[in-house]
């Protein structure tokens, strides 16, 4: 079983990705069409810190 960011990247539709700019060192993953998870992995502490779960509409306008 693969967990963490590597596991999320294997789940089709989650679109787990590294963020840039002011969110450098954070990752984003879709939790469905309406929600996005922003998190930071802290491997030294074996910790995954959830920064926010927000509503977001990914449909193209």
Specify the higher pLDDT residue, 24 or 5. Answer: 24
Predicted pLDDT at 41:
83
Residue 10 counted as domain residue: yes
Q: How far apart are CA 36 and CA 55, in angstroms?
A: 6
Q: Residue 56: what pLDDT?
A: 66
- Residue 60 covered by a domain: no
Query: How many structural domains are present in the chain?
Result: 1
**What distance separates the 2 farthest-apart alpha carbons in the chain?**
41
Distance CA 24, CA 2 (A): 24
CATH number reported for the structural domain that contains residue 17 in this entry: 3.30.2310.20
The full DSSP string for 14-40 is T--EE--GGGTT-EEEE-SSSEEEEEE
Tell me whether residue 45 is in a domain: yes
pLDDT at residue 40 in the model: 87
Full domain range(s) for residue 40 = 4-55
The DSSP code for 2 is -
61 within some domain:
no
Q: Domain for residue 12, yes or no?
A: yes
> Is residue 18 one of the residues assigned to a domain?
yes
Its pTM stands at 0.65
């Amino acid at each position: 079983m693969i967990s963490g960011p590597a596991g999320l990247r294997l789940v089709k539709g989650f679109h787990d990705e590294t963020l840039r700019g002011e969110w450098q060192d954070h990752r984003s993953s879709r939790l469905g069409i309406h929600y996005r998870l922003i998190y930071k992995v802290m491997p030294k502490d074996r910790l995954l810190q959830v920064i926010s779960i927000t509503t977001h509409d990914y449909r193209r306008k």
